[in-house]
């Protein structure tokens, strides 16, 4: 029950943070909107550059086998004109519906994760292209469900438009 309210609180915090910013401040801060995926959860993503090296990301993964609500902090340790190499830490909520295997039981748990990846600005291919960024990453995630200790290493992909 507590995790149900935690999901709602997570969504409200994300919405209030993004809605309080004007379109001009989104452009100045570097706001990105798009999709992000990993092996078990994928969905909508919003990213914001807090500094040249630090980016925050919120992912609402509702299209996979497992639903996820994740907040990530990305640190860009190698930057070039058209690509960034980054590492990240993640904290989230995983929701699993055991309807097919455990008799209509669903469960939500807190998850922890870490990983790294590369983000590429597609304007590196053509300078007239829109500000579209693609990323590829490797991540490890751990969670502990009642009947199952869940951990996985997954290849993640993302596509984001920068305002």
Give the model confidence (pLDDT) of 102-144 as tens digits: 555 777 888 899 999 999 999 999 989 999 999 999 999 888 8
Cα separation of 55 and 46, whole Å? 10
**54 vs 98, which has greater pLDDT?**
54
Cα separation of 57 and 21, whole Å? 16
- Checking 70-77 for CB contacts under 8 A at 24+ apart, the result is 70/41, 70/111, 70/113, 71/10, 72/113, 74/47, 76/52, 77/53
Residue 61: the pLDDT is 87
At 24, the pLDDT band (50, 70, 90 cuts) reads very low
Name residue, tokens 């990453």.
137
Residue 122: what are its φ and ψ, rounded to 5°? -65, -10
At 27, the pLDDT band (50, 70, 90 cuts) reads low
Q: What percent of the chain has pLDDT over 90?
A: 47
Query: What are the extents of the domains in the chain?
Result: 2-162
State the pTM of this model: 0.78
Cα separation of 150 and 148, whole Å? 6
Give the model confidence (pLDDT) of 55-73 as tens digits: 999 999 887 777 888 999 9
Q: Does domain 2-162 have CATH number 2.40.160.20?
A: yes
């Amino acid at each position: 029950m507590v995790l149900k309210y935690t999901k709602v609180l997570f969504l409200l915090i994300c919405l209030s943070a993004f809605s309080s910013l004007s379109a001009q401040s989104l452009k100045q801060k570097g706001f990105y909107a798009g999709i992000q995926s990993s092996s078990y959860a994928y969905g909508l993503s919003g990213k914001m550059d807090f500094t040249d090296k630090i980016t925050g990301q919120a992912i609402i993964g509702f299209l996979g086998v497992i639903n996820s609500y994740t907040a990530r902090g990305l640190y860009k340790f190698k930057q070039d004109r058209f690509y960034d190499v980054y590492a990240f830490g993640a904290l989230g909520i995983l929701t699993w519906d055991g309807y097919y295997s455990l008799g209509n039981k669903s469960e939500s748990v807190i998850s922890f994760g870490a990983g790294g990846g590369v983000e590429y600005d597609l304007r590196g291919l053509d300078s007239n292209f829109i500000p579209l960024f693609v990323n590829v990453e490797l991540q490890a995630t751990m969670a502990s469900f009642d009947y199952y200790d869940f951990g996985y290493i997954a290849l993640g992909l993302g596509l984001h438009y920068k305002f």
